[in-house]
Structure 1
Amino acid sequence: MIKRLKAFLMYILVFVGGILAAWAFWLEPSSLTTQRYSLTMAHKNNFSPLRIGIVSDIHIGRFFGDEKRLERIVGTLNDEKPDIIVFLGDFVAQRSAEAFVKSAHQLKKLEAPLGVYAVLGNHDWWSGKTDVVQALTTNNVQLIDNQHIDLKWKGAQLRLIGLGDYWEDEHLWDYIAAHKASEIPSIAITHNPDVFPRIPSDISLVLAGHTHGGQVNFPIINSPIVPSQFQDRYRYGLIHEDGHHLLVTSGTGNSILPVRFRVPPEVVIAEVAFTSAN
């Protein structure tokens, strides 16, 4: 009787383990969800709600990051009809831009009246970045690392600031040091959220990726590995500190291992507004 019970329990463990493995190594990594946020921030200048499509960490060339994957991401974004689209870096995987360059023509299909903008991530730098930059600019994606652009929307202005990669871009700190505060609402896009405590005071919202949301999130112990000096503090989601907001997306791709568990790949749609009424 005891032997039969042990055998039965072993079968159950193997069965459950198989289901969890299939989920973590195939079903969840190959999925694509849409995460939504709505955020109204205080500013002396009002700014009507802006619909922002946000994508990070595509990692084309590794496991589930192929051209069909990018085509699916583009289709999901277009279906949401965003006013502007931003990419937060790490277009490539395995320090090679070859697969991304071959797939990048899909980006030309993106539709957003205010345009498509991007910053580079650490993997893009590790690939040599030249091919990534060319692939993006050729396909109507404007790179704004350590630059800003003023956008006009429904009679008001918004400053979009690109902050270079925290790990790799040596010009980031010079740009921040030379930054002059803007009188208009400002949003920054960057790859690594670790820059958040050092952002200029006039930036109300920072959009970042890099962490993959931890990529796996176990019950009780959460995510054992988060590529951030702040660990779980900036792992994922909407964070508010010292009058500023940080939105960290889990991204769409994988790093190191082709696995995700309770941290599904996502495209983010954020409705952002500024009002003097707060």
Structure 2
Amino acid sequence: MLVAAIAVGVVLVYLFFILPTQWLKVEKIRHPSGINKRILQISDLHVDRLRISARTIGKVIEETRPDYIFMTGDYTYKTSYLPRANDYFKVIAGYGVPVYAVLGNHDYELPRLSRLLDLLQTNGIRLLRNECVPLPEFDLVGIDDFGTGHSKLRPAFRGADGRKPIVVMTHDPNVVLAIKRPYHYLMAGHLHGKQLNVPFFFKLKPKGPLADRGIYKGLHKSGEGYYYISKGIGQAGVNARFMVRSELTVHDL
């Protein structure tokens, strides 16, 4: 009986805590913005605790055929995992799709952030740190991580004159409360959809004013524009998810 109970316990732990980290969900968001482009958002890789293979991400890129790929921060905080991060970067950038990235709070924990920056550059991934890139269909604004104090909103929006739609990519969605100018669409991550979907989770692990208001995933609207919070593909802290699957997001704008 004891062996059977242990076996049942192991199975339940796997089904409820481990399987959601391996069972990738491709969320599809359609939000007409006049851009007529498809963007694949990859958020919160956390390669040190990632159970989704680079090959699986590659299959999603092949199947969804995005026009752009946006990586919204948190790649790894451990130097020893930079080679693994590089393996993922190679796959993601290997399909000839333009890839843009911003940094997350965990990236700033790296002892030598420059090594991560070099890997992104080597793979042809354009890192945006509070700057605007004019693309043919829209102006892309990349805002650095808000929670660690690296966001600089005025330089980030410089060059976005409103003649084209403005799309924003960032890591911490709490920055939307500080943005005081209109944008069409914003993509963020950071909150992992709770990761462990239990009551009062954000009381035990505070994650800012949005989480306090019960806003931690999905599509929402601020006073300045619409924003989407991805549940992310990797895990932080404990390598488990409860009632929250790993996510890649396809945005049809």
Equivalent residues in 2 for 1:222-237, closer than 5 Å: 223-224=201-202, 225=205, 227-231=207-211, 232-237=213-218
Contact 1:33-1:265 within 8 A present in 2 as well? yes
Find out whether 1:29 has 2:21 as its counterpart. yes
- Aligned CA distance change for structure 1 residues 130 and 161 (closer, same or farther; 3 Å): same
Find out whether 1:99 has 2:73 as its counterpart. no
Find out whether 1:199 has 2:186 as its counterpart. no
Code of the residue aligned with 1:193 in structure 2: it is P
The 2-side partners of 1:52 and 1:180 are apart by 19
1:135 corresponding residue in structure 2? 119
Contact 1:204-1:244 within 8 A present in 2 as well? yes
- Aligned CA distance change for structure 1 residues 96 and 248 (closer, same or farther; 3 Å): same
**Does the residue aligned with 1:235 lie in a helix, a strand or coil?**
coil
Cα root mean square deviation, aligned? 2.7
Uncovered stretches (5+) of structure 1, i.e. residues with no partner:
1-6, 42-46, 273-278
Equivalent residues in 2 for 1:136-175, closer than 5 Å: 136-152=120-136, 157-170=137-150, 172-173=152-153, 175=155
Uncovered stretches (5+) of structure 2, i.e. residues with no partner:
none
Between the two proteins, the alignment pairs up a number of residues equal to: 248
Distance apart, 1:11 and its partner CA:
10
The 1-side partners of 2:229 and 2:101 are apart by 15
1:126 corresponding residue in structure 2? 109
**Does the residue aligned with 1:234 lie in a helix, a strand or coil?**
coil
- Aligned CA distance change for structure 1 residues 132 and 14 (closer, same or farther; 3 Å): same
- Segment of structure 1 superposing worse, 259-268 or 179-188: 179-188
TM-score by length of 1: 0.79
- Aligned CA distance change for structure 1 residues 178 and 49 (closer, same or farther; 3 Å): closer
Distance apart, 1:72 and its partner CA:
2.2
The 2-side partners of 1:40 and 1:243 are apart by 16
Distance apart, 1:257 and its partner CA:
0.5
Distance apart, 1:113 and its partner CA:
6.2
Q: Paired residue for 1:40, among 20, 26, 32?
A: 32
The 1-side partners of 2:210 and 2:4 are apart by 39
Code of the residue aligned with 1:151 in structure 2: it is L
1:238 corresponding residue in structure 2? 219
Contact 2:75-2:85 within 8 A present in 1 as well? no
Find out whether 1:80 has 2:64 as its counterpart. yes
Q: Paired residue for 2:240, among 259, 266, 272?
A: 259
**Does the residue aligned with 2:60 lie in a helix, a strand or coil?**
helix
**Does the residue aligned with 1:136 lie in a helix, a strand or coil?**
helix
Code of the residue aligned with 1:244 in structure 2: it is G
Code of the residue aligned with 1:168 in structure 2: it is T
Q: Paired residue for 2:230, among 210, 225, 249?
A: 249
Equivalent residues in 2 for 1:103-122, closer than 5 Å: 103-109=85-91, 110=93, 115-122=98-105
The 2-side partners of 1:134 and 1:72 are apart by 25
Write 1 or 2 for the structure with the bigger share of strand.
1
Who wins on radius of gyration, i.e. which is larger? 1
Equivalent residues in 2 for 1:48-63, closer than 5 Å: 48-62=35-49
The 2-side partners of 1:159 and 1:201 are apart by 14
Structure 1 stretches of 4+ moved >6 Å:
10-16
Find out whether 1:71 has 2:55 as its counterpart. yes
**Does the residue aligned with 1:40 lie in a helix, a strand or coil?**
coil
The 1-side partners of 2:21 and 2:206 are apart by 17
Distance apart, 1:21 and its partner CA:
1.3
Code of the residue aligned with 1:117 in structure 2: it is Y
The 2-side partners of 1:178 and 1:184 are apart by 13
Per-residue CA distance 1:20-64 (angstroms, 9 max, x = gap): 3112332111221101100024xxxxx3421000011110123x3
